[in-house]
Amino acid sequence: MKHRGHKNRIFLLFSLSVFFYSSALQAEWHSADKTLMGTQVSVELWSDDPDVGLDAIDAVLDEVERLDLMMNPWNAASELARINREAGKHPVTTTPEIVEVVERALHYSRLSDGAFDISFASVGQYYEYREGKAPNASQVALSKQDIDFRAIRLNTNTRSIFFKKPGLQIDLGGIAKGYAVDRAVSILRSAGITSAVVAAGGDTRILGDLGERSRTIGIRHPRKKDEFVVMIPLENTAISTSGDYERFFIKDGVRVHHILDPDTGRSSAGAQSVSVLSPLAIDSDALSTTTFVLGLERGLALINSLSGVDAIIIDGEGKLHYSDELLLKSR
């Protein structure tokens, strides 16, 4: 008995040391990126097992590609393009993913009294930022009548969508990337990953804490230029930024960019940049666009009314503002 116990102990020690040795050798960061959803999608994760890590990255990129094919309004073969063609004529039964995203989008439309409105596309479809083209005044006046989230009838039980205005068009560009990032994180979690960063353009979500690769955001000193009052570590959060400098051109001295004010059908001058932090990327994405359109005062009021949501706003004059909870955290 004594002899066997001794042998067992040696075996245990040996196998433990092998385990630690191999994990120290192989546990590492894996990363990949791909152009999807009109931007750069990147995945960075920590995994003990390289096969698990690399498979998880493939699964994430496949999923984002699937969502891109489904939700890209410019691709005539997409489900979203089909909705835009048919939902003004009759109810269209669609995918659970589109139902989920549209439902959340309508939630933010109601919350912002229409500052966030996926039917901005009724006018938005006539802008071509790369070519520097904007619709003329009469075109805007005419198609602006079709910007109306209340005319979007979504039935979540039957998964059907219907537009009460035949000319209404939708575009999920202000929310779909956040949704895709959340899907990516769910996939990673199911694969057992506990530390990762997924980004789709300006929408990022951090899973776990990132150890040596940790990300922080700095709260600028209000009086001393280039100085930060505090650096807040980002862990287990999503952060999205909407800016007027991403997709724009200058026409007659006016900055024409990709965030439209549904009231005017023109680019919103409410802010220069808005970053929003929240647990889920679908919310930070929608809220950064929403806050941008609402502008400083109404935008801050909305963010401050939501618990667990923070914002950093650079107003139209370039001045920095923080939401209340963020200011508390920096004390």
Residues of this chain that interact with Mg ion (CB under 5 A) are 174, 242, 285, 288-289
Q: Which stretch binds ligand ADP (CB under 6 A): 87-95, 117-125, 161-169, 230-238?
A: 117-125
With residue 305 as reference, give the H or E element that holds it. helix 281-305
Residue 290 neighbours by CB under 8 Å, 6+ apart = 108, 111, 112, 115, 116, 299, 302
Question: Which one among 84, 99, 104, 116 touches ligand ADP, defined by CB under 6 A?
Answer: 116
Among 246, 248, 298, 316, binds ligand ADP (CB under 6 A): 246
The two tokens of residue 123 are 């006018």
CB of 296 to ligand ADP, least distance (A): 16
* Alpha carbon distance 204, 279 (integer Å): 11
Selected from 80, 259, 294, 313, the binder of ligand ADP by CB under 6 A is 259
Count of residues near ligand ADP by CB under 6 A:
20
Q: Which does 117 bind (CB under 5 to 8 A by kind): ligand ADP, Mg ion, none?
A: ligand ADP
Residue pair 204/241 in contact by the 8 Å Cβ criterion? no
Q: How far is the CB of 229 from Mg ion (least distance, A)?
A: 26
Q: How far is the CB of 240 from Mg ion (least distance, A)?
A: 5
Nearer to ligand ADP, 87 or 123 (CB): 123
Residue 273 near residue 321, CB atoms below 8 Å: no
Q: How far is the CB of 190 from Mg ion (least distance, A)?
A: 26
41 is an interface residue for ligand ADP by CB under 6 A: no
Q: How far apart are CA 249 and CA 131, in angstroms?
A: 9
134: CB partners within 8 A, 6+ apart? 126, 127, 251, 256
Q: Which residue in 213, 170, 178 sits closest to 46, CA to CA? A: 213
Nearer to Mg ion, 193 or 280 (CB): 280
Q: What torsion do the CA atoms of 293, 140, 125, 167 make, to the nearest 10 degrees?
A: 110
Under the rule (CB under 6 A), what is the footprint of ligand ADP? 116-118, 120, 171, 173-174, 177, 201-202, 242, 246, 258-260, 262, 285, 288-289, 293
